[in-house]
Structure 1
Amino acid sequence: MGIHNLTRVEDFWSSDDRLRVEGVAKIMPIQRWRKLNQYIHLTNNRDQPDPTDPNHDRLFKVRPLVDMCNRNFTSDIYRPSRNLSVDEAMIGFKGGSLLKQYIPNKPTKWGLKSWMLADSHTGFCVQADIYTGAKGGQGSTEGLGYKVVMGMARHVQGKHHHLFFDNYFTSPKLLIDLVPMQIYSTGTVRPNRKGLPLNFSDKDKKADRGKSAFWQKGDIVAVKWKDNNFVHLISTSCDDTMRQASRRVGGQLVNIPCPDMVKTYNKYMGGVDLNDQLRSYHPVGRKAKKYWKYILWFYVDLCLINSWILYKLAVTDKPKKTYSQQDFRLDVCDGLVAGFTSRKRRLSQVRVLSAIVNQENVGGHVLVKFQGRKRVCVMCSRKKRKTDSGRPVESTFGCQQCSVNLCKDGCHAEFHAISE
């Protein structure tokens, strides 16, 4: 379903050829899909602890999946590149949940927030944790940003990686504490953070574009650079090397001095954004009322993207010269389905037992009695008609040409009058 992004789930099984997706409809009926979607669970609800317990896990519904995915993401199967980025990723959700966040400067403003560590070159997700709020035990005397980065860094320590993060996370203490873990880091920083030079936050409005100033204390180098506005960064990996940056001034491109630290940060900070971009192309999730299903679809997408990246790196003899994520997802679908279908009736196998009342036959659409059990009448389902007991209306009759079940009394003519 991530390949065909239809508005309604019912459209995959639509009788309208312009909407119907045969690759989905022939595998199982919509009723079976709804039941599978209804009963899917990742934990036993009977084991759920008391929500009033201070140690209650707000991710209890998905905890086995989250732990399994993060454990596999950091296994020896994939060795991340030197440059990694830490940032937040949003899972779009507007329902009711204590985990829901509002971030106005994000494209997806409402949703569940995930902290992510991703490879800056490929977008491979190395670690992803759902933010559960202050009651989830994610607070810290050094601030939430500090604890998030330190938690992510433990999975890649001792390998001389270079982490990049924005000013929400960056502080001098964080960079200092990452050095003993053999991790270098660079990030934009808020100029009023504790431990920075006193004149670091001074802003000379008359300063020329391209002007910069450097400070160093121990392993940390700080830079203040004037672009359109002042940019502040600190790093334990970059020095005071200067390069050139192109800017458009008065309709012409001009080169201005630019610290190498700024160029390096802009080049490698986008790992999580790259993963978000890949995840947005073919999302598998469907609209749901339960928040935990959005987390389920989020990790399914992460697994598919990581698998596609691994496949491209490991397999040299690919089926196509340009093997896209869509091609990979289609091959995964073929492998999972493997020719299975739960449908016992095919259009070519329909046996006409009797032709019913001539007046019901509309424009070549013959009302017949199908072999096998009753199925839900398509027209009654559209009109939301129910039996006296509140159950869907079922019929053994239907249209031979359209291969849909319809009630003998009126629904056949009504269905094809609308279709015509």
Structure 2
Amino acid sequence: MHFTNPSSNFVFEDERVQSALPGGFQRLKELKAFFHIQDPTLAEPVNRPFFKVESLLVAVRDNSERLWYMGPDVSLDEQDCGFQGRSHLKDKIKYKKEGDGFLADCICDSGYTWTFHFRHDPTPMPLTQKHAFDLHNRCLYLIKRLKFQWTRIYMDNLFTSRRFLQWGYEEKVLMAGVARATARGVPDCVVQVEAKSKADLEKAVDQLRDHYRFNGPWVRQRKWWWALFLWATGVAAVNSYLLYKRQCELRKVPKSRILSHMEFSVQLAATFCGSAKRAPQAALAGGSVAGQKRDANGFVLHTTCAPRLTPNLLKRWVGGTLGHHPMKEIPGRPGDASPCQWCKFRSTHAYNGKPAIPIDRAPKSRFGCQECAVWLCGPACWNEFHHLV
């Protein structure tokens, strides 16, 4: 803390305070620490536990439910939102890789988080069963959000109990899962020794715990809303990739053209950062242009190999907005030139009612239409290629 003349430097504290008050340095320090102003006209403070990110969590949950049709088999499990700071809502968790944080009960379908509800967030509906635990009441609230009846729900031993299965049947769902041998109302006649490990029996349920790390050690946050923001963003990113894969399957897209999870995540991050690159508009029908290569992220790499003009390829270009493409130098190796592709095409093909024009050798050029990635020797070829004459 530094005192100076406010007329010469307004950044530091006013030196008149130091001269007027004995011990001005300590007094001003205490004033900054304890001075508080409150407007009595403001509304009452919000008492909801996750009020700072509540709108984001509700948006992720509602859109996840709206965009995905549940299958006949789903899973009910808990997800951990890792958090290293201090909060009265944080749970001590030793049985998950993510560590301490906030727990949420979720209904998932093939890795897709369809709906969720955090444990410290009060249920927005009256208790379904008065004699049930808070855990089972939250799960019954999630079950009521299902759109189809008699959905089969698989659970781990945390949720399974005789009463909970009975309550689920009253809500017109079928539930099954691994149960603890004691204090869960399981008859002795069905108790058996585990033939496999608990992790193997719960593989169909634990769909996100070991496969995705939303808050890794490289993200150190001390604010609880920052941890929940990262968790909600990660869930939305995973759900969006599963939606992308499902759309590709429905449209019968070849597997070679489907992005991997890493490539999709990189493209998503690049889009959020505003640095996503658009591919040239040569293939208007959605196919890739011959001669174009893509890197691991799906971006187009500029090469010296140009697409070969064919009558079928020209049909894709006709009728588009090709008349607005500029004539530019196509990037390639310095000093490299390529034959005019339109002259080469017109030497062997008749086009638009005009016969072919045989030539011995097409003239070379380092210019062309950068949007179409086609080398053209001059304005005449450029206009004729873009269907302007």
Task: Return the TM-score normalized by structure 2.
Answer: 0.52
Verify the 8 A CA contact 1:124 1:306 in the aligned structure 2: yes
Q: Which residue of 1 aligns with 2:229?
A: 296
Flag the 1:339–1:164 CA change in 2: closer, same or farther, 3 A. closer
Q: Which moved more, 1:314-323 or 1:144-153?
A: 314-323
Q: Partner letter of residue 129 of structure 1?
A: H
Query: Residue 144 of structure 1: which of 134, 150, 155 is its match?
Result: 134
Flag the 1:301–1:166 CA change in 2: closer, same or farther, 3 A. same
Q: Partner letter of residue 79 of structure 1?
A: Y
Flag the 1:309–1:284 CA change in 2: closer, same or farther, 3 A. farther
1-structure distance, mates of 2:216, 2:255: 23
CA shift at 1:338, angstroms?
A: 4.2
- Cα shift readout 1:223-260 (whole Å, capped 9, x = no counterpart): 211236xxxxxxxxxxxxxxxx8x9xxxxxxxxxxxxx
Partner-residue secondary structure (3-state), 1:273:
coil
Q: How many residues align?
A: 232
Partner-residue secondary structure (3-state), 1:113:
strand
Q: Partner letter of residue 61 of structure 1?
A: K
Task: State yes or no: 1:310 paired with 2:243.
Answer: yes
Verify the 8 A CA contact 1:284 1:301 in the aligned structure 2: no
Partner-residue secondary structure (3-state), 2:149:
coil
Verify the 8 A CA contact 2:165 2:175 in the aligned structure 1: yes
Q: Which residue of 2 aligns with 1:227?
A: 194
2-structure distance, mates of 1:188, 1:195: 13
Q: Which residue of 2 aligns with 1:173?
A: 163
2-structure distance, mates of 1:290, 1:110: 14
CA shift at 1:87, angstroms?
A: 1.5
Verify the 8 A CA contact 1:285 1:294 in the aligned structure 2: no
Correspondence list, 1:127-142, <5 A? 127-132=115-120, 141-142=131-132
Q: Which residue of 2 aligns with 1:365?
A: none
CA shift at 1:284, angstroms?
A: 11
**5+ residue gaps, structure 1:** 1-45, 201-212, 214-222, 229-244, 248-261, 342-420
Flag the 1:59–1:318 CA change in 2: closer, same or farther, 3 A. farther
2-structure distance, mates of 1:97, 1:184: 37
Q: Which residue of 2 aligns with 1:331?
A: 267
- CA RMSD for the aligned pairs? 3.6
Correspondence list, 1:92-131, <5 A? 92-119=82-109, 122-131=110-119
Flag the 1:301–1:318 CA change in 2: closer, same or farther, 3 A. farther
2-structure distance, mates of 1:48, 1:288: 30
Bigger relative contact order (CA 8 A; separation at least 6) = 1
Partner-residue secondary structure (3-state), 2:85:
coil
Flag the 1:104–1:124 CA change in 2: closer, same or farther, 3 A. same
Verify the 8 A CA contact 2:61 2:116 in the aligned structure 1: yes
CA shift at 1:138, angstroms?
A: 10
Q: Which residue of 2 aligns with 1:81?
A: 71
- Cα shift readout 1:18-53 (whole Å, capped 9, x = no counterpart): xxxxxxxxxxxxxxxxxxxxxxxxxxxx988436xx
Structure index of larger Rg: 2
- Taking only the aligned residue pairs, the percentage that are identical comes to 18
Verify the 8 A CA contact 2:84 2:100 in the aligned structure 1: yes
Flag the 1:159–1:50 CA change in 2: closer, same or farther, 3 A. same
Query: Residue 61 of structure 1: which of 28, 40, 52 is its match?
Result: 52
Q: Which residue of 2 aligns with 1:50?
A: 45
2-structure distance, mates of 1:135, 1:159: 22
Verify the 8 A CA contact 1:84 1:163 in the aligned structure 2: yes
Verify the 8 A CA contact 1:278 1:305 in the aligned structure 2: no
Flag the 1:138–1:99 CA change in 2: closer, same or farther, 3 A. farther
